[in-house]
């Protein structure tokens, strides 16, 4: 499964913000999207989301999961 713990996504974003400053759409969110998931702020439909994420599922030997909201 291609994802770190949720706390790591927050921790690395905070470390990067301290090191590199506020970068629009990178360090300004306060977290990184984990795994190969499309950022929740993207305006795409479920089919586009699945098409994008499916490219990475065959290299994730621990399994795969996709979320639809």
Return the closest-CA partner of residue 34 out of 7, 14, 9.
9
From residue 20, alpha-carbon distances to 7, 12, 27, 66 in Å are: 20, 12, 8, 31
Tokens matching residue 31: 């977290």
pLDDT averaged per 10 residues, the chain (length 69): 72 94 91 82 91 86 77
Residue 51 has what pLDDT?
92
With residues binned 3-state (H G I as helix, E B as strand, rest as coil), the percentages for the chain, rounded to 5, are: 40, 0, 60
**pTM, 2 dp:** 0.62
What are the residue ranges spanned by the domains of the chain? 6-57
């Amino acid at each position: 499964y291609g994802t770190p713990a949720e706390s790591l996504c927050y921790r690395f974003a905070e470390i990067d913000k301290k090191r590199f400053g506020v970068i629009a759409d990178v360090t300004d969110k306060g977290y990184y999207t984990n795994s190969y998931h499309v950022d929740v702020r993207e305006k795409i439909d479920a089919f586009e989301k699945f098409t994008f994420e499916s490219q990475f599922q065959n290299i994730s030997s621990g399994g795969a999961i996709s979320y639809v909201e």
